[in-house]
Amino acid sequence: MSLYKSLRFRIFFAMLLVLVLTFIGLAILTVIQYKEEANDYHRERLLRKEQNIKQNLNYVLKNSPYPQETEALQYIFYNKIYEIKDIHNLDIELYSPQGQMILSSQNKTPDSLAQKALGPDLIQALKKNQDEHLVQSFNREGEHYQSSYSFLLSDTFEPIAIVHLPYIADDGFMAKELNENLLRMSILYGVMLLISIAIAYALSQYITRSLQSISQRLTSTQLLGQNQKIEIESNVSSEISKLVEAYNNMIEALEQSAVQLAQGEREAAWREMAKQVAHEIKNPLTPMRLSVQSFQRKFDPQDPEINNKIAEFSASLIQQIDTMSDIASAFATYAKLPEQNIHRIELAETIKRTVEVFDASFIEFSAPERAITLNFDKNQLNRVVTNLIKNSLQSLKESQIKNPEIQISLTDDAHNVTLSIRDNGPGISQEVKSRVFEPKFTTKTKGMGLGLAMVKTIVLSYGGTIDILEPKEGGVAFVMQFPKA
């Protein structure tokens, strides 16, 4: 299973993603908060300056000998506007209520004063403002400005001028404080992130530990094997507890099903065995009965050929009795397979002696020079090799191969021993291949179909496997593997 598809990784990644997004969100909120505080600070500072400057302007206006009219403002504040600027360290501009500039503390010429005017939209917005006060923010040449616009009123509360205060917002101190706080937050968040990663990893391990245990048990669960239940810990969550309980219930049901299945298979096997024995024994009994009845009808003590007839009759009965004896021996051999005399044997020498019994030049046996040993019953190994060689010999004989070959090879590696028996016969069809190890199944004119079934039973009893392969060079190969341990 890929790492990115595992539940543990997904839980860990999800927790980590939530933490990282939380830290990023806190950092963004911190920056936004500092900027809002900076804007509020400059706005409040500008409004305080505006209030103080307007108090000075009103004081000068009330103590002036000139009438409180728009046309007289340039005479009233001709010099005073510079004094007020120096006191508050802020430029001041006076406009008529219609938006034409009257005076400026920036030493502008009369021509430049006449050219500068306020837009009608700004004047309209100022008139709509309830407190007759307007603040605008803008950037110019890299500098951040906040401009304050308000009416200068006469004693009769008539607007005689618009006071404009352009204020440069110096964010140096606030920006420095923001950067320092962001640095401290980054260090703190970095440490917290590392701690959170460790906690998230530990939590993902804890959450998936029980699931991993269940997964391993499910992987090792066998239909006919001995399966162990999972012990539930006291601190396991209710969801995991229910899952473990369901698994344990499944194991109990599986064990009961396995017992019933094994019992049913044994009963079915014995029924099939009984039917096969009855069928095979009945075959020679019929000719024996007919022979006895025929001899009984034709028996004549005075017949000069009576001795020859008795000899023929006896030979026929003996032949049928031998057939029945072979049938009984075959079934007895098949039934006695569980009785094993296991000891450490050298495989190559044992197989070589079995091959030599057939005395056929086209049977070749190859094995490493080193000794290959295995815990095995020597007689059962002989049965396996003998049955497979006989099977190949009969296949080659029936197909009448001109250059018959039977190759037997023995190899091993660190874990397994492999025994292969291959012939260059006609091969085997897929239909026959799927049934070749079934008891009493055979494609031959003679035989009871127990040879290959016995071979598979022996191989499986040693924890081995047997496969039927179709080599590229033709024929068929029976490949068996036995574990060394």
Characterize 162-179 residue by residue with b for buried, 16 or more Cβ atoms within 10 angstroms of its Cβ, and e for exposed: bbbbbbebebeebeeebe
Asked if residue 421 lies in contact with residue 385, where contact means CB atoms within 8 angstroms, the answer is: yes
Q: What is the pLDDT of residue 353?
A: 85
Q: What is the pLDDT of residue 430?
A: 77
Asked if residue 166 lies in contact with residue 91, where contact means CB atoms within 8 angstroms, the answer is: yes
Look up residue 317 and give its two tokens: 């009965």
Q: Along the 485 residues of the chain, how does pLDDT read in single tens digits? A: 444 456 667 777 777 788 788 878 877 887 787 777 777 777 777 778 888 888 888 888 888 888 888 888 888 888 888 888 888 888 888 888 888 888 888 766 555 565 678 888 888 888 776 566 777 776 766 666 777 888 888 888 888 888 888 876 555 555 676 677 778 877 887 888 788 778 877 777 776 666 666 666 666 665 555 666 666 666 556 666 677 777 777 777 777 776 677 666 666 666 666 666 666 666 566 666 766 777 677 777 777 777 777 777 677 677 667 666 666 666 665 555 445 678 899 999 989 888 887 778 899 999 998 889 999 988 888 888 888 888 888 888 887 878 889 999 999 998 899 999 999 888 877 777 777 777 655 655 455 556 788 888 888 888 899 998 888 878 889 999 999 86
| Residue with the two structure tokens 């197989």 | 351
Look up residue 420 and give its two tokens: 């292969």
Q: What is the pLDDT of residue 481?
A: 93
Which domains are assigned to the chain?
3-175 (3.30.450.20), 238-335 (1.10.287), 343-483 (3.30.565.10)
Rounded Cα gap, residues 334 and 454, in angstroms:
6
pTM beyond 0.95, yes or no: no
Asked if residue 478 lies in contact with residue 386, where contact means CB atoms within 8 angstroms, the answer is: no
Burial class (CB within 10 angstroms; exposed 0-12, middle 13-18, buried 19+) of 464? buried
